Amino acid sequence: MHVEVRGLNKHFGDFHAVKDVSFGITKGHLIGLLGPSGGGKTSILRMLAGLENPDSGEIVFHGKTVNQLPPQEREIGFVFQNYALFKHMTVYENIAFGLKVKKANKQHIKDRVMELVELTGLKGFEKRYPHQLSGGQRQRVAFARALAPEPQLLLLDEPFAAIDAKIRQELRSWLRDLIERVGITSIFVTHDQDEAIEVADEIMIINQGRLEQKGTPWDIYKAPKTPFVATFIGESTLIENASELKGFANAGGGKPTKALIRPEYIEVGHLHEFKMASATVQGVVKHLHFRGSEWLIEVEVGGHKLSTYRSLEKETLQPGQEIAVLVHRAYLFNDERSWIQENGLKEDPMPVFI
Ligand SMILES: Nc1ncnc2c1ncn2[C@@H]1O[C@H](COP(=O)(O)OP(=O)(O)O)[C@@H](O)[C@H]1O
Ligand SMILES: [Mg+2]
């Protein structure tokens, strides 16, 4: 199902929880709704599901406005964080529930439940009750139950938040495969950036009720539109006073107040390794972590802790050692705008990915 949301707003009393949110989702895509707790993610899902009324804005499924449609007529499957399985029902009965409500015939219910039991890897567990299952298995039952009535849109609200890390990792790729096979349009809410990047085709970053940016994880990473997005996706160090950076004084356009540095924006090494030594600043190696294919190096530069990677092929650095640091590029911003800029002192600037 193609989903279109236009100018969605929601207040709870005086509190403006969802602010003018608009987006579209292509049929069959899996979108990650990512942002800190309290940002408005659940409120957006609940409005899509018809469990909450927007103050203003339009929700359009298949080209048809559904604002007035009750939840049961919206063809939506919902999976919550806390399983919410029916405790007194077996796995079979849980999965069959939606079809029984729709008064499907017995044979169809049986066929569909068995199909989903297969699809979700729950064969042999049909007669068990929720308390006889692991967290991961329960959540798979929740998926099967949501998919049984053949919804057109699947809403997943932090479905793995209550599951321990190792199983969660397995469930991510399992979910991706499942959704790809079923081909259903889905929205996956999470506050975990790794989870969103791994699971979703596209990500929407939600912060304080606003949609700050929508795009593929790579698009967002290489060209963040707001400082919030820049810090939320990927590793970075914030430099409160951008004028401390060497080589960024003639920032194209405005004057930056703050800067963000990512690991791949900087290079560390001995002074002789750099062509343009005058563009480097002095730092001290704090820690070295062996990362299989390279070193992750933490350096301190003028009171800031930066991290970067260094090839195993190069001379090994030691903690406490003084080294040269070249900041190739920085994400700069002030109150008006944000932009990525190359170090102006460098000989041959590295390509910028925008
Ligand atoms: N029914 C409600 N009544 C009052 N405030 C609410 C209600 N639902 C959500 N909120 C508030 O709206 C904000 C957004 O909540 P929510 O959509 O649950 O965020 P998220 O899912 O991103 O954590 C929060 O500050 C929350 O306290
Ligand atoms: Mg929530």
> Does the beta carbon of 107 lie inside 6 Å of ligand 1?
no
> Does the beta carbon of 36 lie inside 6 Å of ligand 1?
no
- Most confident range (mean pLDDT) of 170-174, 209-213, 218-222 is 209-213
For residue 353, name the pLDDT band (cuts at 50, 70, 90).
very low
Residues 129-172: tens digit of each pLDDT: 999 999 889 999 999 999 999 999 999 999 988 888 888 888 89
What residue has token string 């795009």? Answer: 215
| CA of 13, closest atom in ligand 1 | 4
**The predicted structure's pLDDT at residue 256:** 85
Residues in the chain: 354
**The predicted structure's pLDDT at residue 335:** 86
C-beta separation of 142 from 173 below 8 A: no
pTM of the model: 0.87
3-state helix/strand/coil string of the chain: CCEEEEEEEEEECCEEEEEEEEEEECCCCEEEEECCCCCCHHHHHHHHHCCCCCCEEEEEECCEECCCCCHHHCCEEEECCCCCCCCCCCHHHHHHHHHHHCCCCHHHHHHHHHHHHHHCCCCCCCCCCHHHCCHHHHHHHHHHHHHCCCCCEEEEECCCCCCCHHHHHHHHHHHHHHHHHHCCEEEEEECCHHHHHHHCCEEEEEECCEEEEEECHHHHHHCCCCHHHHHHCCCCEEECCHHHCCCCCCCCCCCCCEEEECHHHEEEECHHHCCCHHHCEEEEEEEEEECCCEEEEEEEECCEEEEEEEECCCCCCCCCCEEEEEECEEEEECCCCEEEEECCCCCCCCCCCC
Separation CA 207–CA 225 (nearest Å) = 13
Distance from the CA of 59 to the center of ligand 1, in angstroms? 19
Residues 247-271: tens digit of each pLDDT: 887 656 678 889 999 999 999 999 8
- Provide mean pLDDT across the span 4-8: 97
For residue 336, name the pLDDT band (cuts at 50, 70, 90).
confident
Say yes or no to pLDDT of 347 above 80. Answer: no
Residue 30, judged by CB atoms within 10 A of its CB (0-12, 13-18, 19+), counts as buried
Residue 11, judged by CB atoms within 10 A of its CB (0-12, 13-18, 19+), counts as middle
Separation CA 289–CA 286 (nearest Å) = 10
Q: Which ligand is nearest to the CA of 82?
A: 2
CB atoms within 10 A of CB 124: 9
- Most confident range (mean pLDDT) of 51-65, 82-96, 188-202 is 51-65
Residues 75-108: tens digit of each pLDDT: 999 998 776 899 999 999 999 999 999 899 999 9
Probe ligand 1: pick from 42, 46, 82, max atoms within 8 Å of CB?
Answer: 42
C-beta separation of 167 from 140 below 8 A: no
Separation CA 243–CA 114 (nearest Å) = 64
**The predicted structure's pLDDT at residue 251:** 56
Distance from the CA of 309 to the center of ligand 1, in angstroms? 40
**The predicted structure's pLDDT at residue 125:** 96
> Does the beta carbon of 43 lie inside 6 Å of ligand 1?
yes
